[in-house]
Amino acid sequence: MKLKDTIHFNWYKHLFIVLVIGLCVAASAGVTEADILDVFGNLEQMSGFLSRFLKPDFSYIPKLIGPMISTLQMSVVGTALGVVFAVPVAFLGTTVVTGNRVVTSAIRFFLDIIRTIPNLLLAALMVAIVGIGEFTGVMTIAVFTFGLVSQLVYEAIEAIDEGPIEAAVSVGANKVQVAFWSVAPQIMSQVAGYTFYALEVNVRASAVLGYVGAGGIGIILNSSLALLQYDRVSIIILLILVVVAAVDGLSEAIRRRLA
């Protein structure tokens, strides 16, 4: 092996990349006026925050149970609605079922647009359309789930065994029958897994939707932060972490069984 074939021969290229990255970081820090020393300059404020944040108000937990349940309900209902609409649209988003690239491209373009909208922006739009409350959170989660699951499902359909499809077509089955009898049985376990994965993601996301008025425990978290009630903020965050961890564990166990 020649020296030029080794990575050491191109050390100057790696050095150049590091320098470019360093210059970009320095330029970005200059534009944003970011200064790491500011963190150490506010040690008194930080210590005051930590002194209250690290003393969770456990007596506040009973008042959080209701909003936490509402948050979970929002996630479950929103996930279910999103999946119900995502699956049939995903079938239209694959040439395996439609055989029409124009329809498939249009559906995928629409889904790409849905997925590019951030959760909080989507929630803000829903607040403007529907109003403040849990229903807004449900609709936000449903739209997000729709975009997420539809992509996962149509990608799963593209990877299925086409043997059953060819067999169904050979006996005169139409596209609906092919989708129902030849495609659906091959992806049902994956759809179930995607549903629980979406629920797992949505429980985490729904905790902060209250910042824009979408209901749930996020509203209480937002108000506690605004009132500088950091002892309550810490117990809210702790409760969210416990619930999210429980949902994640349950979801992972179910998806592992379905795999």
Which CATH number does the domain housing residue 102 bear? 1.10.3720.10
- What value does the mean pLDDT take over residues 79-101? 84
Q: If you average pLDDT over residues 220-242, what whole number do you get?
A: 86
Q: Which range among 80-89, 93-102, 104-113, 206-215 has the greatest average pLDDT?
A: 80-89
pLDDT tens digit sequence for 120-141: 788 888 888 877 777 888 888 8
- Indicate if the pLDDT at residue 69 is higher than 60: yes
pLDDT of 234 strictly over 80: yes
Residue 250's Cβ-side half-sphere holds a number of Cα atoms within 13 Å equal to 13
In the prediction, which pLDDT does 83 show?
92
pTM of structure:
0.76
Gap between the Cα atoms of 138 and 45, Å rounded? 38
In a domain, 131, yes or no: yes
pLDDT 10s digits, 16-67: 888 889 888 888 777 777 666 666 666 777 777 777 778 888 888 888 888 8
Q: pLDDT-derived band of residue 90, with 50, 70 and 90 as boundaries?
A: confident
pLDDT of residue 140: 86
Strand locations in the chain, DSSP E?
none
- Residue 138 Cα distances to 61, 133, 143, 223, 233, angstroms: 24, 9, 9, 21, 24
User: Does some domain include residue 38?
Assistant: no
Residue 104 in any domain: the answer is yes
Domain that holds residue 213: 62-256
**Is 217 among the domain residues?**
yes
In the prediction, which pLDDT does 89 show? Answer: 87
Whether 12 maps to a domain, the answer reads: no
Question: H or E segment at 50?
Answer: helix 43-53
Q: Is residue 232 part of a domain?
A: yes
Task: Judge whether residue 6 has pLDDT over 60.
Answer: no
CA–CA separation, 154 and 158 (whole Å): 6
CB 233 within 8 A of CB 218: no
Alpha carbon of residue 222 to chain centroid: 20
Which residue is associated with the tokens 């699951």?
149
CA–CA separation, 145 and 71 (whole Å): 15
Question: What is the percentage of the chain residues whose pLDDT exceeds 90?
Answer: 3
In a domain, 50, yes or no: no
Instruction: Please give the share of the chain, as a percent, with pLDDT higher than 70.
Output: 90
What is the domain count for the chain?
1
Calpha distance 249→200 (Å, rounded): 9
The mean pLDDT value of the chain amounts to 80
